[in-house]
Amino acid sequence: MRLPNVPSGREPDILFIANEHRDRLKTTFLDGPADVVVEIISPESIGRDRGEKFVEYETGGVAEYWLIDPEREQAEFYHLGTDQRYHSMAMGNHGIFRSQGIAGFWLRLEWLWQDPLPKLVDVLRELKVI
pLDDT digits (tens, 9 = 90+) for 8-46: 789 999 999 999 999 999 999 999 999 999 999 999 999
pLDDT at 119 over 80: yes
How far apart CA 88 and CA 33 sit, in angstroms, is: 19
Instruction: Express the helix, strand and coil content of the chain in percent, nearest 5 each.
Output: 25, 25, 45
Q: What is the mean pLDDT of residues 57-64?
A: 96
Q: Which CATH number applies to 14-126?
A: 3.90.1570.10
pLDDT, position 64? 98
Contacts of 44 (CB under 8 A, 6+ apart): none
Cα-Cα-Cα-Cα torsion 88, 94, 95, 97, nearest 10 degrees, comes to -60
Spatial contact of 37 and 44, defined as CB atoms under 8 Å apart: no
